[in-house]
Amino acid sequence: MEDFTSLRNLMVETQLKTRGIKDKRVLNAMGTVERHLFVSELLKNHAYDDSALSIGEGQTISQPYMVAVMTELLELKGDEKVLEVGTGSGYQSAILSILCAEVFTIERIVLLAEKAEERFKKLGYKNIHVVKSDGTLGLPEQAPFDGIIVTAAAPEIPDTYVSQLKTGGRLVIPVGGRYSQILYQVKKTGSGIKTSMFTPCVFVPLIGKHGWTEGDTNNNY
Ligand code: SAM
Point out the catalytic residue in the list 62, 89, 93, 97.
Answer: 62
CA 203 to ligand 1 center in whole angstroms:
9
Could you tell me if the CB of 161 is within 6 A of ligand 1?
A: no
CA 111 to ligand 1 center in whole angstroms:
12
The residues facing 176 across adjacent strands are 181
Could you tell me if the CB of 64 is within 6 A of ligand 1?
A: no
Could you tell me if the CB of 208 is within 6 A of ligand 1?
A: yes
Could you tell me if the CB of 68 is within 6 A of ligand 1?
A: no
Cα(156)–Cα(74) distance, rounded to whole angstroms?
Answer: 19
| Three-state SS at 50 | coil
pLDDT of residue 3: 83
Could you tell me if the CB of 108 is within 6 A of ligand 1?
A: yes
pLDDT digits 0-9 by tens, 21-77: 999 999 999 999 999 999 999 999 999 999 999 999 999 999 999 999 999 999 999
Is 51 an active-site residue?
A: no
Is the pTM above the cut of 0.85? yes
Could you tell me if the CB of 91 is within 6 A of ligand 1?
A: yes
- Categorize the per-residue pLDDT at 18 as very low, low, confident or very high, splitting at 50, 70 and 90: very high
Select from 142, 140, 162 the least CA-distant residue to 150: 162
Cα(181)–Cα(201) distance, rounded to whole angstroms?
Answer: 5
For helices 4-11 and 24-32, the axis angle rounded to 10 degrees is: 160
Cα(132)–Cα(71) distance, rounded to whole angstroms?
Answer: 22
CA 135 to ligand 1: nearest atom: 24
CA 107 to ligand 1 center in whole angstroms:
6
Q: What is the DSSP string of 100-155?
A: SSEEEEEES-HHHHHHHHHHHHHHT--SEEEEES-GGG--GGG--EEEEEE-SBBS
| Domains of the chain (ranges, CATH numbers) | 65-217 (3.40.50.150)
CA 1 to ligand 1 center in whole angstroms:
30
Contacts of 121 (CB under 8 A, 6+ apart): none
pLDDT digits 0-9 by tens, 105-132: 999 999 999 999 999 999 999 999 999 9
